[in-house]
Structure 1
Amino acid sequence: MRIIGMISGTSHDGIDVAVVSFALSGDALHGTVEHTASTPYPPELRARLAAALPPAATTMAEVCELDTLIGQRFAEAAAAAAARTGPADLIVSHGQTVYHWVDGGHALGTLQIGEPAWIAERTGVPVLSGTRIRDITAGGHGAPLVSLLDVLLLAGHPGTAAALNLGGIANMTVLDGAGRPAAHDIGPANALMDAVVAGDGLDPRGFDAGGRLAAAGTVDERLLEVLLAEPYYRLPAPKSTGKELFHLGHVRDALARAGRETGGADLVATLAELTVRTVARDVAASGAGLLVVSGGGVRNPVLMAGLRHALPQVRVVPSDEYGAPADDKEAIAFALIGWHTAHGLPGTVPAGTGALAARVLGSLTPGAGPLSLPAPLPAPPRSLVLAPPAAG
């Protein structure tokens, strides 16, 4: 079954696409990653999206227009992927998260935009969307959904292993030696650095390319102390967060409370160290001997060197070693969720999201013809073997 998985993450910089063909052999699922791509949002669309995100005020008219414009961009990305690999059986669109409603440690709602009907109309393929909300209705956080992929990839690893995603937000899945999973959002990975780089015009690309700013700066220990006092870090897992909390105003408030005017490379270096400290603390507490890392943060040498220095007893490797390209792992994860939904199987790990029980995820928008799904499977796969894209 060929599935296109698509997501625009908390960095809201564009659309990641992965085309994966799945085949079940016994209780092992095999996935061949046929194609991956990243399509940046046009600068004007990204600017409009950033201006509408919390804590900024917006209008329903702007939300409606962004829902359409982003849906059309997802449709173009899906059509381009299908043109490269051939027709897909299903498209899974995570869309663009614009608000994740958490109150008192409980997730109450979540909103992803990018109308899936545009994708179905453009491609003629059925589209699965709205993948987070069913877990929330079952008492979960609707995140991190990538735990489904993590648990299957790490299955059979001796001892305790962890998978870490360094996107806008850092999230981690841990699988202990007995195969028991746990997961949670740790805090900001790139979100605060990106907010400062974009807000202060430190790099026209809107992020610290190659970690050059962080490498050139000096950590402000007093500011770091104030940032580390954020109550979210002390909440028990499972928990989730997003840019509703970790945005540019969060940094400005910390600067004021610390009595600092730190800026430029020193501020970026301090925020990079915040990511390293919060992630390393949670990884160390998990007892993991292996840390498999994905997301844009893998390309930041300051973050990766900081984690390896802070975790000398942990083997830190990119997810590429497990067949999931670090930049594309979340798109692959949503393709996997789509395979589970198509076969009537739950797509969540309740121990990671905090839900009462696992749920089949998403809502289906029919394609050009009648909606036809495979026969339901009696049990989910116990492991996943991924073959990465062929070179060239």
Structure 2
Amino acid sequence: MRVIGLVSGTSHDAVDAAAADLVLDGDTVVLAPLGLVSEAYPEALRSALSAALPPAATTMRDVCALDTRIGQAFAALAARADRELCEGRADLIGFHGQTVYHWTEGGEVRGTLQLGQPAWVAEATGCPVVSDLRTRDVAAGGQGAPLVSLVDALWLRGRPGVCAALHLGGTATITVVSGVGDPLAFDTGPANALIDAAARELTGGGLDHDADGTMAARGTVHEPLLERLLAEPYYARPAPKTTGKEPFPAACLRAALAATGPVPDDDVVATVTGLAARTVADAVRKVHATEVIASGGGTRNPSLMGALRRELGPIALRTSDDLGLPVAAKEAHAFAVLAFLTAHGLAGTVPSCTGARHPSVLGSITPGRRGLGLPAAGRPAPTRLEVFRR
């Protein structure tokens, strides 16, 4: 089955589409990557999305407009991915949508909201679309995240030692896989989101991120500011736990700076970069990981990766490129796999990772122009994922 996975992270800067040939061979999902295409959100859409995110107020009209316009942006990219990567023969699309709010109270997730109307994607491509992938896990008592944990668990099973798959997106997420016990997954805290916010804040909007880690490279970690940022209660909470950007807005950084006094701009960016590295490394040490395999946009930031290597010390740090999954496409490929599992009536969650009461088949299905046939029940769940390198 030829499947396209569509994602946009909490940095909401671009939309990604990764395509793969997927086959269920006995107990193994075989994934052959077909490529990745990406497009920046139109600037007007990105500005409207940023203006509507918490803690800002918004209106139902704005929510409706965002739901439509995000769906249309993804639809255009999905059609391009079908043409350029699948020769117009895509069978299925997994559509994550754009997370705009992750509702937590008292350490529990009450709900989660991803915008992007899937009907636009189905209309543009003719393919059935699996969307709204997180809500079923929340209904089953889970965090609704990290959903890539199932794919990580299948992919890394059998590696020696204790392996931590790390995704450096807007937030940093790890999945811990070992030969003993069930896998574990959780968000460690902010990664690119707080770095991007600091760059925007300090340059008055002149920059929207720290390109190539340049500001951080010029700066020095300001220890009093780092200690204040590390006081955020989220870091001490036990797993399973997930977060969006809500606990880590630019306002928190401003409050920390007000308490520490003036700090040079480059030092501020170096400090929030160090914060991401420190909180990831602290989490990795707590689970006794012997290897970290990183993916996501943060791997393109040399300052972040350098800080992470220093914090990890003797713990090996590699990227998913080394194992056949391109760092920029891994998350989109993961949502392609989840859609593939849904199309086969198979669960897409690991309760030990999300905290749910049981595994769940994920998502809602929007039929394409060719209709949709549902699979027969009773197929055994896969236990491995193998990446086929062409």
Give me the TM-score of the superposition, normalised by structure 1: 0.96
Corresponding residue to 2:102 among 97, 100, 103: 100
Specify the alignment match of 1:60 in structure 2: 60
Aligned amino acid, residue 287 of structure 1: H
Query: Deviation of residue 205 (structure 1)?
Result: 5.0
Aligned positions, number: 388
Whole-Å Cα distance in 1 between the matches of residues 378 and 23 of structure 2? 13
Residue 270 of structure 2 aligns with which residue? 269
Correspondence 1:43 to 2:40: no
Give 2:317's aligned residue.
Answer: 316
Counterpart Cα distance in 1 of 2:348 and 2:113: 19
Q: Which moved more, 1:271-280 or 1:197-206?
A: 197-206
1:241-274 Cα offsets, whole Å, 9 max, x none, are 1111111112112222x33232521110010010
Partner of 1:344: 345
What is aligned with 2:138?
A: 136
**What corresponds to 2:150 in structure 1?**
148
- Are 2:251 and 1:249 aligned? yes
Of 192-201 and 232-241, more deviation after overlay is shown by 192-201
Identity of aligned residues (%): 53
The yes-or-no answer on 1:178 pairing with 2:180 is yes
Alignment of 1:274-289 (within 5 A): 274-289=275-290
> Superposed, which structure 2 residues align to 1:1-392 within 5 Å?
1-84=1-84, 85=86, 86-178=88-180, 180-201=182-203, 204-256=206-258, 258-376=259-377, 378-387=379-388
Aligned mates of 1:117, 1:201 — CA distance in 2: 39
Q: Distance in 1 between matches of 2:377 and 2:76?
A: 31
Contact 1:30/1:384, CA 8 A, preserved across alignment:
yes
SS at match of 1:265: helix
Q: Pick closer, same or farther for the CA change 1:353–1:129 going to 2, 3 Å.
A: same
**Which digits, 9 at most, give the CA deviation of each residue in 1:164-192, with x for residues without a partner?**
01100001000122252001111001111
8 Å CA contact retained: 1:72, 1:118: yes
Q: Is there any run of 5+ residues in structure 2 with no aligned partner, and where?
A: none
How far off its partner does 1:309 sit? 1.5
AA of the residue aligned to 2:137: D
**In 2, distance between residues paired with 1:312 and 1:148?**
28
**3-state SS of paired residue (1:159):** coil
Normalising by the residue count of structure 2, what TM-score does the alignment of the two structures yield?
A: 0.97
Instruction: State whether residues 153 and 322 of structure 1, in contact with CA within 8 Å, keep that contact through their aligned partners in structure 2.
Output: no
| Greater alpha carbon shift after TM alignment, 374-383 vs 31-40 | 374-383
Superposed CA RMSD in Å reads: 1.4
User: 1:82-130 deviations in whole A, cap 9, x for unaligned?
Assistant: 1111221111110100000011110000000010001111111111110
